[in-house]
């Protein structure tokens, strides 16, 4: 089912969403999508973030307050008692990916006369929004309370909210207009027009997007893509640097040039424009969490580079995702080669088979309520 806006009788709430940017902008990407989706549904959101620089290109105007219903606030203001005293209290607190609220922020609410004397003296519903995984523990942990054992809010409870791929989880972020936007992009001429806006002339060649870290199988991928006319659309950042480094090494080594592969280096894209990139391409190489979800909604063959962890915990997470997809041996082998989890070269990719697999998974996932809808229902129950 496609998202539907909440009924007119649904309570419209004030949300405080907290995000600490660690690296790679995945945290801020997911948190911003949630904030934007909440605001579109009529809620009011304050996004507290330690580094909002990525929003300048991800969501232009966000930091300047031009997105209705959303205010972006510097993290350090959450420790300023004078600033906090002037703000209306929120109905919901969301800790993005386990970032912890500052003690000063919690204390400003707990000890405020305003909070105690208000007619509606319910405590905010406190959510720990977790990372996405297809592993079995997600279903077991989703929705569980976590008692606060110390500090100003001692005796309260947070609740774990897990995104996921089954009905026993919190689902995936999916805006109510996403399918309609994708349908409009699929109309004749729309893709070519969008590519032309990026300075890319397209006459029907295979299109591949590349958003990655530094996969050791990168050269093997590009060798395969050179088997037929292909235009590789490389995102800005680490993917750009990885390809540039590979090209420089090949020049030094005297490697022969590719004949059918044309490489385009893209500027930084807004979140909406990144959706367009995924819809345009015949294969999407994605990384992390946010782009994986968007690639699933795009419904095109995908190759996911998972965020590597020192203890190799990402291996089990990758296998769980492939199990969820019902991936065949070819798709599994490609993912393990791309993630360097098994000592084998990248197999010859069967994109037709991959397309069927992703389409079936997409159809299953569309039957679930999206994350924002489920989160709203969860909040209503706890209030």
Identify the pLDDT of residue 245.
98
Strand partners, 285: 210, 303
pLDDT of 138 higher than 50: yes
Whether residue 104 lies in the annotated active site: no
Class of 178-366 per CATH? alpha beta
- 23 pLDDT tier (thresholds 50, 70, 90): confident
Average pLDDT in the 57-65 region? 97
- 114 pLDDT tier (thresholds 50, 70, 90): very low
Please name the residue that has the structure tokens 């979140």.
271
Distances (CA, A) of 305 to 146, 212, 314: 31, 6, 10
Of 27, 37, 135, 175, which residue is the catalytic one?
27
CA angle centred on 140, ends 29 and 379, rounded to 5°: 55
Angle between the N-to-C axes of helices 178-185 and 271-280, in degrees from 0 to 180, rounded to the nearest 10 = 50
Average pLDDT in the 143-170 region? 96
Q: Cβ(214)–Cβ(242) under 8 Å?
A: yes
CATH number of 14-172+369-382: 3.40.50
Tell me: the pLDDT tens digits for 280-315? 999 999 999 999 999 999 999 999 999 887 777 788
Of 37, 289, 290, 370, which residue is the catalytic one?
289
pLDDT of 4 higher than 50: no
Tell me: the pLDDT tens digits for 124-136? 999 999 999 999 9
Average pLDDT in the 343-354 region? 95
Identify the pLDDT of residue 8.
39
Identify the pLDDT of residue 27.
92
Tell me: the pLDDT tens digits for 192-243? 999 999 999 999 999 999 999 999 999 999 999 999 999 999 999 999 999 9
What 3-state class would DSSP assign to 161? strand
Whether residue 323 lies in the annotated active site: no
Strand partners, 158: 126, 146
Average pLDDT in the 83-97 region? 95
User: What is 235-260 written as a DSSP string?
Assistant: PTTHHHHHHHHHHHHHHHHTPPPPSS
pLDDT of 5 higher than 50: no
C-alpha 15/C-alpha 109 separation (Å) is 14
Identify the pLDDT of residue 121.
66
Range(s) of the chain covered by CATH 3.40.50.2000:
178-366
pLDDT of 174 higher than 50: yes
Mean residue pLDDT of the chain comes to 93
pLDDT of 88 higher than 70: yes
Q: Is the dihedral of CA 31, 33, 34, 40 positive or negative?
A: positive
Identify the pLDDT of residue 122.
82
Identify the pLDDT of residue 343.
82
Please name the helix (run of DSSP H) or strand (run of DSSP E) that holds residue 320, with its range, or none. helix 313-325
Identify the pLDDT of residue 349.
97
Tell me: the pLDDT tens digits for 141-156? 999 999 999 999 999 9
Q: What are phi and psi of 130, to 5 degrees?
A: -95, 175
Query: Which residues in 179-203 are b (16+ Cβ under 10 Å) and which e?
Result: eeebeebeeeeebeebbeebebebe
């Amino acid at each position: 089912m496609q998202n539907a806006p909440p009924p007119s009788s649904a309570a419209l709430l004030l949300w405080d969403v907290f995000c600490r940017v660690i690296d790679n902008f995945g945290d801020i990407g997911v948190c911003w999508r949630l904030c934007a989706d909440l605001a579109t549904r009529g809620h009011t959101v304050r996004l507290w973030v330690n580094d909002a620089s990525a929003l300048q290109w991800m969501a232009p105007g966000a930091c300047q307050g031009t997105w209705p219903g959303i205010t972006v606030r510097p993290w350090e203001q959450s420790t300023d008692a004078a600033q906090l005293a002037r703000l209306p209290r929120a109905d919901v607190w969301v800790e993005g990916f386990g970032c912890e609220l500052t003690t000063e922020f919690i204390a400003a609410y707990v000890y405020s006369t305003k909070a105690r004397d208000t007619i509606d003296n319910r405590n905010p519903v406190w959510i720990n929004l977790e990372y996405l995984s297809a592993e079995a523990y997600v279903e077991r942990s989703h929705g569980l309370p976590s008692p606060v054992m110390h500090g100003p809010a001692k005796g309260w409870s947070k609740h774990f909210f897990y995104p996921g791929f089954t009905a026993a989880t919190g689902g995936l972020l999916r805006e109510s207009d996403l399918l309609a936007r994708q349908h409009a992009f699929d109309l004749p001429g729309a893709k070519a027009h969008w590519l032309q806006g990026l300075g890319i002339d397209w006459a029907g060649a295979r299109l591949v997007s590349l958003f990655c870290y530094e996969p050791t199988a990168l050269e093997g991928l590009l060798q395969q893509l050179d088997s037929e006319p292909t235009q590789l659309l490389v995102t800005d950042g680490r993917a750009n640097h990885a390809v540039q480094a590979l090209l420089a090494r090949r020049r030094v080594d005297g490697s022969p040039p590719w004949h059918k592969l044309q490489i385009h280096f893209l500027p930084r894209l807004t979140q909406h424009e990144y959706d367009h990139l995924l819809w345009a391409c015949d294969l999407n190489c994605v990384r992390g969490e946010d782009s994986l979800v968007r690639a699933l909604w795009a419904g095109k063959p995908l190759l996911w580079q998972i965020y590597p962890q020192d203890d190799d915990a990402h291996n089990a997470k990758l296998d769980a995702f492939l199990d969820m997809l019902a991936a065949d041996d070819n798709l599994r082998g490609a993912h393990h080669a791309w993630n360097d989890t098994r000592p084998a070269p990248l197999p010859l990719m069967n994109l037709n088979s991959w397309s069927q697999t992703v389409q079936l998974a997409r159809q299953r996932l569309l039957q679930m309520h999206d994350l924002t809808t489920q989160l709203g229902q969860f909040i209503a129950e706890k209030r």
